[in-house]
Amino acid sequence: MKKGLTKDLILNHGSDVLGYGGVLLCVILFGILSQGRLFNAYNLRILIQAACVYAILSMGAIFIYSMGYMDISVGAQLGVYSIMLILISNKTGSLLLAFGAVLAISLVCGLINGYVAVMLGLPSIVTSIFLMSIFGGIQVIAMEKIGINSISIEANMDLFADVKFMIFVIAVIAIISVYLFRFTQLGEYVKSIGANETATEYAGISTTKWKVIAYIFFGICVAVAAFMLTARSGAAGKGTGTGYAMDIMVALLLGGMPLSGGMKAKISSSLIGAFTYVILSNGLTLAGVSVEVGYVIKALVFLAVILITCRKKDGVLPR
């Protein structure tokens, strides 16, 4: 009976065990190796600061990955939005106006990502590659036009860089995400699309509509993440946002999210994954692990998670 329960736990809740177990393992392991420094007040503060943007992006991205899709334009979008925030804010003196402009563009991009892919019959990754190229180009051109490597914001963003405000934003986004994911049709249908898109369509559900809504919500999260990113460093440049698309994917995997999407997707994967990802980097530094060994460990963890979370019948990669 006990053996059967364990087997059931591993087979049916493997990703949950992995997500919660992974973060717990990291906390215990690095707590010991860092001689308790992992838990000091300063370190807890910087963990939250570092995880904030990842957590916000991951909570938006989970709606996309649940469908078995992915968006690799997120890094380039983040970079352009940060630069726009700074330029508009510096020009007008209004942070609100700057954020409003960024939010509007992010909504349009969400629409393009979701709708154009369906209209043209393209895999969503193709439209996200298109957006990545467009935004990457804009980012480079904008910075070369300005003529420096990085621009700073003139407005005082200390309030938004405060860890209490970051916790507040993470909590608000988490509440909205959980509500949408668990208690609305959006959550049900994105998982359903991920499990079997054809069957979902045959059930009379407009997959196009829900895809677009999912991408729009993700767009809002990207805009908020760009705001928090800018608040933290007070600057943006040619390379701001680089690598975030991959970081988000790794964070979700670490949280136990199957890349192929489907009914096993959980919103908790985003938060657990974001914090595991940050604790892993922070813990390796605190434990005195050298840079080279750190790379190897991260790669092994990534591989182990892939092996556990990939679904047997489908491919590992998103559509």
Partner 1 sequence: MINFKKLAALGLAVVMGVSVLAGCGADADSSAKADGDAKEAGTEKTSVETKHHKISVGLYTDHGRSVEAINAYLDGIDDVIDVEFNTFVLSTYDENANLTAVQNEISAGAEGIIMTADMGTEAILKECESANVYVAGFLNDYNMSFYTANEAVFGNEYFLGSVIDGPLDNKGYAEAVAADVIENGYKHVGVATFPDWAYPLQQDLANAFIAKIDEYNETAEEKIEVYEIAEVDFGTGLPATYFTDHSDMDCLFSVAAGASLVYPQMVSDNRTNIALYTTGFEATEDIENFRSSGNGTFKSICCSAPEAIAYPVCLIIDKLNGTTYSDLPAEKERVDCAAYQIISDDEMEQMKKTLYYTADYKDAAITGEDILSMCASYNPDATYEELKAKLLDLGI
Residue ranges that bind partner 1, judged by CB under 8 A? 10-11, 29, 33-34, 37, 40, 42-43, 46, 49-50, 53, 143-144, 147-152, 229, 232-243, 281-282, 284-294, 296-297, 300-301, 303-305, 307-308, 310, 312
Nearer of residues 202 and 292 to partner 1, judged by Cβ: 292
Least Å distance between CB 146 and partner 1?
8
Least Å distance between CB 172 and partner 1?
21
Nearer of residues 38 and 186 to partner 1, judged by Cβ: 38
Least Å distance between CB 6 and partner 1?
12
Nearer of residues 53 and 125 to partner 1, judged by Cβ: 53
Q: Which residue in 43, 74, 68, 64 sits closest to 224, CA to CA?
A: 74
Nearer of residues 193 and 229 to partner 1, judged by Cβ: 229
Least Å distance between CB 283 and partner 1?
9
Least Å distance between CB 5 and partner 1?
16
Nearer of residues 55 and 229 to partner 1, judged by Cβ: 229
